[in-house]
Amino acid sequence: MSYEQKLKELQLKLPQPPKPLATYVPAVLVGKLLFLSGVLPMRDGQVAFAGKLGRDLTVEQGMEAAKLSLLNVLAIAKQELGTLDRITRVVKVVGHVASAEGFVQQPQVLNGASDLLVAIFGEAGRHVRVAVGAAELPRGSAVELEVIFSVS
């Protein structure tokens, strides 16, 4: 089954890909590596999950933020590649989680993105991951994802 079909089967709908607000671009392809800009949990042009984990949001809300960020990641990848089926591997996800003092469950938060990647891409969705607690993120976002794909 293609990744595009899998997305439908999972009843996931990709949002409009977010537009960069400055002189950078959403994605750059070099050789077989597709690098993406940092992606926030955007919905209808707004950051849908603002605030810090451990203070303003629960781990469950953080997971939702990670999942929504990932749908935006996929929207950008599709925009760049025409179809998600050109993706041969999800290589790397760095997940920045806005963290209040003492919050150390960044991995749980990011499972919201990682689990979805594996649900859609299967073995090809198994990526390396770096979970980090950020002091602050753009526009007060709770999560920011930094992703590299390999493509055919």
Q: What is the dihedral of CA 65, 66, 70, 72, to 10 degrees?
A: 30
Question: Both tokens of residue 96?
Answer: 């920045």
Closest distance to a second copy from the beta carbon of 148 (Å): 8
Q: Is 131 in the site for a second copy (CB under 8 A)?
A: yes
Q: Rounded to the nearest 5°, which phi and psi values hold at 34?
A: -105, 110
Q: Is 32 in the site for a second copy (CB under 8 A)?
A: yes
Closest distance to a second copy from the beta carbon of 1 (Å): 19
Closest distance to a second copy from the beta carbon of 46 (Å): 14
* 76 to 35, 38, 51, 58, 92: CA distances (angstroms): 11, 11, 24, 27, 16
Q: Which residues of 115-125 are buried (b: 16+ CB within 10 A; e: fewer)?
A: ebbeebbeebb
Q: Is 72 in the site for a second copy (CB under 8 A)?
A: no
Q: Is 45 in the site for a second copy (CB under 8 A)?
A: no
Question: Residue from 4, 12, 14, 38 that binds a second copy (CB under 8 A)?
Answer: 38
Question: Residue from 7, 36, 63, 70 that binds a second copy (CB under 8 A)?
Answer: 36
Q: Is 10 in the site for a second copy (CB under 8 A)?
A: no
Non-local CB neighbours of 70 within 8 Å, separated by 6+ positions: 39, 112, 113, 116, 117, 145
Question: Residue from 65, 67, 114, 143 that binds a second copy (CB under 8 A)?
Answer: 114
Assign 39 to helix, strand or coil.
strand
Applying CB under 8 A, the residues found at the interface with a second copy are: 20-28, 30-33, 35-38, 54, 89, 91-94, 96, 98-99, 101-107, 110-111, 114-115, 117-118, 125-141, 144, 146, 148, 150
